[in-house]
Amino acid sequence: MTDAASSQATTLAPEIEFWFDFGSNYSYLSVMRIEALAAARGVRIRWRPFLLGPVFRDLGFDNSPFVLQKQKGAYVWKDMERQCRKYGIALTRPTTFPRAALLAMRVALLGADQPWIAAYCRKIMQLNFADDRDIGSAEVVSEALDELGLPARDIIADAQSDANKLRLREQTEAAAAKGIFGAPTFFVGNEMFWGNDRLDDALEYCDSIASRG
């Protein structure tokens, strides 16, 4: 296939928007799975990091519903244990939940269209939900970037720029405007799918669109 034909095939490939937050436990499950699942179906991923906290506050919650509702929180962590066993994903319940990850999210936004975005997101999620590390710290974010062979100092400086900070606020506002109320959330065109357990449905919907084309 020529470069032009390859580029056209990529452009025509079905696309899934993946809205996530590093503090979200169910986003962890999706981050760890989505790249391989999408690649197997020839689906492109648009990585859309956003801040779930402001969305919750707009909905009247001052914390995660999993924290505010004791019974729901207890269920969710048992469910996470089951889901992680199912997918073969490591899990250590974080000592802080939800864990603030502003810098990590800013880096994710900066790298959303870069080849390293999937590996970076998996690394940050592993540090949070498998290693119980403080992914809100510059030290841990730098460690993640270093392990991927990336220029941590330069990337963090760019991520902390006023322009990138504004972009993350705007992306969070865009999430609310799209009707997003939790994470992970997936969009295929105008169709919204909420929750890790709807990732497969979203990818199947991509298939249906491709077959119509």
Q: Which residues are designated catalytic? A: 24
The Cα 53–Cα 192 span in angstroms is: 20
Give the list of residues 6+ apart from residue 180 with CB closer than 8 angstroms, or none: 19, 50, 55, 192, 194
The Cα 34–Cα 49 span in angstroms is: 14
Residue 191: strand pairing partners = 188
The Cα 66–Cα 83 span in angstroms is: 16
Give the list of residues 6+ apart from residue 172 with CB closer than 8 angstroms, or none: 50, 51, 54, 55
- Here the tokens at position 67 are 């924290």
CA atoms within 13 A on the CB side of 79: 12
Residue 44: strand pairing partners = 15
